[in-house]
Amino acid sequence: MSLQSRSAMPLTVAWLGYGGLVPFVALALGSLIDDEQAAFFSAALRAYGAVILSFVGALHWGFAMTLSEFRDESAQRRQNETFGWSVVPALLAWPALLVPGPLASGLLIAGFAAHYGQDRRLAAFASLPAWYLPMRLRLSACACLCLATGVLTRLWCW
C-alpha cells in the first residue's frame, strides 16, 4: 500500500465514521431543545454511547488478529494486551446502561477517553493508517461532548 493511500481517509470510512455522530448530535440537541422529553433523549444518548463504546473496543480485537507486528515474545505480549483491552470498553459500557444518568455518562466519557489513549498506544507499535488517530480523536471528542451535554441537560431539568 502506498503512503498516499494510507494517509488519505477512504470516503466510505469518512461517511460511516462521521455519520455515526449524527445520533450523538441529534440526541444531545433533543435533550437541549425539548424539556418534556429531555430524560428520554438523555437516556437514548447514553444507550447509543454504550453501543458505540463497545464497537470501538472491538476495533482493537480486529487489530490484534490481523496486524503482522506480533512476532517475538514482547510483540506477543502486546498482542495479548491488545486482545485484553478490546473487551474493556464493553465492560464499561454495559454497567453504564444500569446506573443513574450522570454516573453512566461519566463511565462512557471515561471509556472513550481511555480508548483513545489505547489507540495512541497501539499506534506506537502498529502500522495504522495516518488518518486513524485524528479521526478517532474527533469522533471521541464529539461523543464525549454530546454525552456531557446530555448530563448537564438532565441536571438543569431537575
Could you tell me if residue 40 is inside a domain? no
* pLDDT at site 132: 96
Cell of 49: 454511547
Range of the domain at 97: 45-157
Could you tell me if residue 139 is inside a domain? yes
Whole-model pTM: value is 0.89
Could you tell me if residue 33 is inside a domain? no
Could you tell me if residue 134 is inside a domain? yes
Confidence band of 60 (pLDDT split at 50, 70, 90): very high
Could you tell me if residue 12 is inside a domain? no
| pLDDT exceeds cutoff 70 at 158 | no
* pLDDT at site 95: 96
The residues, ordered by sequence, that sit 6+ positions from 7 with a Cβ below 8 Å of its Cβ are 129, 130, 131
Dihedrals phi, psi of 129, to nearest 5 degrees: -60, 145
Total number of domains constituting the chain? 1
Could you tell me if residue 140 is inside a domain? yes
In the predicted model, what is the mean pLDDT of the chain?
Answer: 89
Distance of CA 32 to the CA centre of its chain: 22
Amino acid at 54: S
Q: Which residue has the higher pLDDT, 15 or 152?
A: 15
Could you tell me if residue 62 is inside a domain? yes
* pLDDT at site 85: 96
Cell of 50: 454504550
Could you tell me if residue 35 is inside a domain? no
